[in-house]
Structure 1
Amino acid sequence: MTGSRLVAIGHYQPEKVLTNDALAEMVDTSDEWIQRRVGIRTRHVAAADESVSDMAAEAAQKALANAGLTGPEIDLVIVATCTSHERSPNVAARVANRLGITAPAALDVNTACSGFPHALAMADLAIKGGSATKALVIGVEKLTDFVDWSDRTTCVLVGDGAGAVVVTASDTAEISPVVWGSVPEMGRAVLIEGKGGSFSQEGRTVYRWTTTSLPDIARTVCERAGVAPEELGGVILHQANLRIIEPIAKLIGAVNAVIARDVVDSGNTSAASIPLAFSKLVERGELTSGSPVLLFGFGGGLSYAGQVVRCP
């Protein structure tokens, strides 16, 4: 086996849905103001006793079921998250224990909003290098634990949820080489800092960086994959803001692709946003199996990562 492929996907969101109108009763905002600025209508909020590990395990179990695999067949678990209160054992080990995965390599990755494509790249490289054969890659966040509900500039943005994929060894490389990097000197533009700290960001700085710098990087991802932007079947960007997603997708030149807009219903779920949006598109039959799909994450760090995968 000289490559890897994505064989199944699944997602999980908490039951509670928080609408813009409900937020307007908590803070000085309105449905019109929120939709005009970021495009969000609703977001899901985890229960107080629902942990990052709980949500990750739910999404992972669905991905395993969709792959027709059981826990003991998995030998690598990677979880992308920046909001776990659990330090040791890490989230990956907790998920492995819950799902009956025996003796896996289990690690967490924290690059915030670009965490999932970072984690997927690590799984791809491990499988190509012969260190794993079947991997679970999970993006999960409980951002509502780290938001100031009196700050209308940030509390309207975030939501909770998880998405997971199963990656296996393959005769062909169906996950392209990752293009990743960061801008450390701009890292303070997105923060969750200190014990009990709240999520904060410099919105204008992030907007300028994403809309001016990232389209060229995303096109480089396509070049590394040997796929022209117009050949893409789907574009799944980090679901941060509809005013960021739509301009980037247009500038990439993906004129024939389905563009993920799950931010409208789920808000910004950081590392969970890409697999969550991907899973919903697959579940609804909006993507064709085998079609090339661009995954591209960006945000806290400021970091970015992306690859082209074949849709399961």
Structure 2
Amino acid sequence: MTTLLGAPTTTGSRIAAIGGFRGENLVTNDDIAGPINSSDEWIRQRTGIVTRARADHDTTIADMSTAAAQDALAKAGITGADVDAVIVSTVTHFEQTPALATIVADRIGATPAPAFDLSAACAGYCYGIAQADAMVRAGLARTVVVVGVEKMSDFIDPTDRTISFLLGDGAGAAVVTASDQTGIGPTVWGSDGGQAGVIYQTRSWLDYRHEELGEPEEETPELAEEVSQMRTPTLRQLGPTVFKWVISTIPGVARQAVAAAGLTLDDIEVFIPHQANMRITDQLTKLLKLPDSVIVARDIAETGNTSAASIPLATERLLREGTAPSCAVALQVGFGAGLAYAGQVVVLP
């Protein structure tokens, strides 16, 4: 005799609302060009970025996450008391414990909902959506808040020419709810840790701690190559290698995500890639041969690259400005450090 441990469920899920918070300050290319010996023209030509949002010194990622989550909850017409779980994706929560998600859950009034953090960098939001979708389908939750948040300005060396000028601060949040109709397609995701050094932290926090305690780490070629005079760990990337990996890998991931949803690229109405670089967005659009009618997110121009926050923030802008209609079929795909990637087709709220 078979005993069922709980009733089976075939519940689907959907994104009910998207909220956002961008850093309070718009930093122009001229503002940051000096330390990297660059210019507004050089940055625009290579990245498509005109400004990037940077948060005030006293604004924390908990503050930004809370603001984005509250915005999403208000748009969904619910409160924190209705939330069954909170997921936060970030690489800029510089505390090993407690998880940022528990703090956010408390601030939005979702306690005692389970809450946990994810670390998948620029793919993190799509990872979070995948987890929320799975939780709802499994009957573990009916309403999940997913936040992608970064304060990248805390993680950069302003003299670094590889990535610092790309980065911005912000948080985007989605309310994922149970639905009779499927609004989130299967996730296609993966990683390649063999290329972990392509986007990397200059040194570990443990090495930094030893150094501050008077126990310097052993000299290494990587440390010798560090050009920054800053002692705290900062972010670096091998830009050309990243570009080649994205262009060779992500179109296939995107096509698989569309196929997994039972659709074709002709069914896609909105394309929301991670806002890494305008050249990457343009190249992905070209390689996927998307119809001219497809709306392409280009929030990178005003907000900059906000890592895990970039996809929800780009989505929030499209919906707020009326560029993308409600209930449009969107392909979203994140990719970055790890190397890690994830994509899924969703119906916009």
**TM-score (norm: length of structure 1):** 0.98
Tell me the equivalent position of 2:144. 135
- Which deviates further from its counterpart, 7-16 or 24-33? 24-33
SS of match in other structure, 1:12? strand
Of the three residues 212, 237, 243, the one matched with 1:201 is 237
Task: Look up the match of 2:71.
Answer: 62
2:165 aligned counterpart, secondary structure: coil
The match for 1:224 among 260, 263, 279 is 260
SS at match of 1:78: strand
Query: Alpha-carbon deviation of 1:154?
Result: 2.1
Output the amino acid matched with 1:131: L
* Letter aligned with residue 188 of structure 2: V
Match of 1:100, SS state, is: coil
Matched, 1:150 2:145: no
Q: Distance in 2 between matches of 1:14 and 1:144?
A: 10
Name the amino acid aligned to 1:294: L
Say which is worse superposed, 44-53 or 160-169, in terms of deviation: 44-53
Q: Who is 1:305 aligned against? A: 342
Are the counterparts in 2 of residues 75 and 132 from structure 1 also a CA contact under 8 Å? Answer: yes
CA distance in 2, matches of 1:21, 1:107: 39
The runs of at least 4 consecutive aligned structure 1 residues that moved more than 3 Å come to none
Q: Could you say what secondary structure the match of 2:323 adopts?
A: coil
Map of 1:117 onto structure 2 = 126
- Structure 2 distance, partners of 1:194, 1:268, is 23
1:81 aligns with 90
Bigger Cα Rg: 2
Structure 2 residue 23 is the aligned partner of structure 1 residue 14 = yes
Conservation of the 8 A alpha-carbon contact between 2:253 and 2:342? no
Aligned residue pairs total: 312
How far apart, in 2, do the equivalents of 1:297 and 1:307 lie?
Answer: 9
List alignment gaps of at least 5 residues for structure 2.
1-9, 206-231
Task: Write the deviation string for residues 205-233 of structure 1: whole angstroms up to 9, x where unpaired.
Answer: 10001012211111111000112112211
**Which residue number corresponds to residue 250 of structure 1?**
286
Task: Describe the SS at the equivalent of 1:29.
Answer: coil
- Name the CA distance, whole Å, in 2 between partners of 1:27 and 1:179: 37
1:262-295 CA deviation, whole Å, 9 max, x = no partner?
1111111000000000001011111122221011
Question: Is residue 2:301 matched to residue 1:259?
Answer: no
- Please tell me whether residue 187 in structure 1 is matched to residue 193 in structure 2: no
2:135 matched residue in structure 1: 126
Q: Which residue of 2 aligns with 1:40?
A: 49
Q: Which letter does structure 1 place at the counterpart of 2:36?
A: V
One-letter code of the match for 1:263? I
Does the 8 A contact of 2:148 with 2:173 survive in 1?
yes
State the alpha-carbon separation in 2 of the partners of residues 206 and 181 from structure 1: 16
The separation in 1 between residues aligned to 2:72 and 2:331, in whole angstroms, is: 20
Alignment check: 8 A CA contact 2:272 2:315 kept: yes
- Kindly, what percent of the aligned residue pairs are identical? 45
For residue 279 of structure 1, what is the aligned residue in structure 2?
316
Counterpart Cα distance in 2 of 1:194 and 1:158:
21
Find out whether 1:268 has 2:277 as its counterpart: no
Pairwise CA distance, 1:102: 2.1
- The match for 2:173 is 164
> Which structure 1 segments of 5+ residues have no match?
none
Asked whether the 8 Å contact 2:162–2:237 carries over to 1, the reply is no
Aligned-partner residue type, residue 55 of structure 1:
M
Q: How many angstroms does 1:258 deviate by? A: 0.5
Residue in structure 2 matched with residue 30 of structure 1 by the alignment: 39
Q: Which moved more, 1:106-115 or 1:38-47?
A: 38-47
Work out the CA distance in 1 between the residues paired with 2:36 and 2:11.
Answer: 53
Contact conserved, 1:233 with 1:288, CA < 8 A, in 2?
A: no
Q: What do you get for the CA RMSD once the two structures are aligned?
A: 1.1
**Are the counterparts in 2 of residues 231 and 254 from structure 1 also a CA contact under 8 Å?**
no
CA distance in 1 between partners of 2:30 and 2:40 (Å): 6
